[in-house]
Amino acid sequence: MFAIKAKNLNKKYEIYKKPSHRLKELATLGRRKYHRELWALKGIDFEIPAGKTIGIIGPNRAGKSTLLRLLAGIGKPTSGALEINGRISALLELNAGFHWEFSGRENILMSCSLLGMSAQEIDQKYKSIVEFSELEDFIELPVWTYSSGMYLRLGFAIATSVDPDILLIDEVLAVGDEYFRWKCFNRINDFKKQGKTIVFVSHDTLIVRNLCDEVIYIDEGKIVSYGDAVEVINNYFKQIYFREREQLAQENVQFSDTPRWGSGEIEIQEVKMFNNKGEEDYIFKTGDRVEIKAKYLVKEKVNRPVFGFNIFRSDGVHCICENQVWSNKSNIMLWEKEGLENPFKLADVGKTGEVNFCFEKLLLLEGNYSLSFSVHDGEKAVPLPFDEIMVARKFKVEQGEIEHKGIFVSPGKWIL
């Protein structure tokens, strides 16, 4: 037996630039269009068996929340059929169904009535709703005084109190603190044991993987795949990888537009990053071999150029500052002591050269990063740049086989 069945479900929104355009269109009796059409859902087909926990994943604006609203009865599809077997309860938005001027108690009574509960049922459930929400001290206050976390507590307590056959949950659980999220997931697990049908929308694929029996992956209003949770989530990650790689490739094309400064004796012409296969790449894993290659043009003779780079995390944290002198300081001192020629030999004036740096193992942890690249005058006490590019490369690091938290992998060892 199925709990939910969708057949060729479509949902269209009419988008107007200005409210007045809607009136203008009405005045022309629809002969002139002032709106554009946005199809949030296109030909959605699926069947959810009773008693299953189904996750819905996909990028932003994929149509996930629109689908959940239609399942909850908030709005109607433009075309197609939707069949629901059982009593539905939904937690879609933090303040959905709440009246701001009413107290928490009054909102409980009103919301439970709207969910179809009788006065007797509300009396029986009221105490347990307040206890689960842990809002005893605030229940007589108007809900406009509540924080987003308090909204979530009250909304989840009400939604799960009606003993639904089908529970719909949107991304709102991400707002709560860890303790209350633990309480929520315990209750969801209790519903699973009771054989309830649960539809859960989230960007947290780890929770979806652990909680859901099957997953629906939606993108651009269409179902990309529907089936085993692990297989669908892996497919989703592959699509994300290709999209991120394309996006980073487009951003890194804008090399000539990035801020740069310097006196100009040497010009950096190109900076690229390569993976362990020797291929140019923008996405790496912790522990990968990564090589940075920079091409430069010598415009004037200089005596002691020093190449270097910095790596910043997307939140501005300065992670790495590296240059050829620091990396090879002991070797340079040895060469100078023994009168040997410095092997860092610059190309002749008017010619191009290349300088490389290799991470045998990239120890940066998961995150988005940018790389600045520069060449400085090593003869000056305060090194001034010949050329410095503030964002020479953008790249991403994903979690590899090594699992750590923070910025870097610690190379140390534990001994018991």
DSSP 75-135: S--SEEEEEE-S-EEEE-STTTT--TTSBHHHHHHHHHHHTT--HHHHHHHHHHHHHHHT-
Domain annotation covers residue 366 = yes
Residues 316 and 226 in one domain: no
Exposed/middle/buried for residue 344 (C-beta within 10 Å: 0-12, 13-18, 19+): middle
Residues 209 and 281 in one domain: no
Q: What is the pTM of this model?
A: 0.67
Would you say 202 and 171 are in contact if contact means Cβ atoms under 8 Å apart?
yes
Residues 389 and 267 in one domain: yes
Count the neighbouring beta carbons within 10 Å of the beta carbon of residue 286.
21
Would you say 300 and 375 are in contact if contact means Cβ atoms under 8 Å apart?
no
199, 219, 243: which is the final residue of a domain?
Answer: 243
Write the CATH number for 369: 2.70.50.60
Spatial distance between the Cα atoms of 138 and 130, rounded to a whole number of angstroms: 10
Contacts 24+ apart (CB under 8 A), 391-394: 391/258, 391/259, 392/255, 392/258, 392/268, 392/271, 392/294, 392/309, 393/252, 393/271, 393/272, 393/273, 393/282, 393/292, 394/248, 394/251, 394/252, 394/282, 394/368, 394/369, 394/370
Q: Is 348 helix (H, G, I), strand (E, B) or coil?
A: coil
pLDDT tens digit at each of 416 positions of the chain: 888 999 999 999 888 888 888 887 788 777 788 778 889 999 999 999 998 999 999 988 888 989 988 998 888 899 999 999 988 888 776 555 688 889 989 988 888 888 778 888 888 889 888 988 888 889 999 988 988 888 888 888 888 887 788 988 887 666 667 788 888 888 888 888 898 999 988 888 888 888 889 999 999 999 999 999 989 998 888 888 788 777 777 777 655 667 888 899 999 999 999 999 999 998 999 999 999 999 999 999 888 888 999 999 988 899 999 988 776 654 455 445 555 555 567 888 889 999 999 999 999 998 899 999 999 988 777 778 999 998 899 999 988 776 777 888 887 788 98
Q: What is the DSSP letter of 258?
A: S
Q: What is the DSSP letter of 173?
A: G
Residues 197 and 297 in one domain: no
Spatial distance between the Cα atoms of 51 and 362, rounded to a whole number of angstroms: 45
* Tokens found for residue 20: 């007045």
Domain annotation covers residue 412 = no
* Tokens found for residue 77: 């599809």
Give me the pLDDT at residue 303, please: 82
215, 243, 271: which is the final residue of a domain?
Answer: 243
Domain annotation covers residue 409 = no
Residues 352 and 208 in one domain: no
Domain annotation covers residue 410 = no
Domain annotation covers residue 76 = yes
191, 215, 243: which is the final residue of a domain?
Answer: 243
Q: Is 291 helix (H, G, I), strand (E, B) or coil?
A: strand
Would you say 3 and 49 are in contact if contact means Cβ atoms under 8 Å apart?
yes
Write the CATH number for 189: 3.40.50.300
Would you say 88 and 4 are in contact if contact means Cβ atoms under 8 Å apart?
no
Query: Strands (DSSP E) along 127-221, which ranges?
Result: 166-169, 197-201, 214-219
Pairing label, strands 266-274, 166-169: unpaired
Residues 203 and 262 in one domain: no
Residues 265 and 371 in one domain: yes
Residues 37 and 163 in one domain: yes
Show the DSSP H helices in 254-367 as ranges: 324-327, 329-337
Residues 52 and 171 in one domain: yes
Measure CA of the first residue to CA of the last residue in the chain; give whole Å.
Answer: 56
Domain extent for 320: 258-398
Going by C-alpha positions, the residue among 311, 310, 334 that lies closest to residue 323 is 310
Where b means 16+ CB within 10 Å and e means fewer, 74-107 reads eeebeebebebeeebbbbbbbebbbeeebbbebb
Domain annotation covers residue 407 = no
* Tokens found for residue 366: 């998961």
Spatial distance between the Cα atoms of 197 and 254, rounded to a whole number of angstroms: 49
Residues 233 and 271 in one domain: no
Residues 208 and 270 in one domain: no
Domain annotation covers residue 323 = yes
Residues 94 and 188 in one domain: yes
Cα-based distances in Å from 133 to 104, 139, 152, 179? 10, 10, 9, 12
Show the DSSP H helices in 256-375 as ranges: 324-327, 329-337
Domain annotation covers residue 120 = yes
Give me the pLDDT at residue 134, please: 87
Query: How far, rounded to the nearest angstrom, does the alpha carbon of residue 142 sit from its chain's CA centroid?
Result: 34
Split into its structural domains, the chain has a count of 2
Contacts for 112 with CB less than 8 Å, ≥ 6 apart: 121, 122, 125, 129, 158, 161, 162
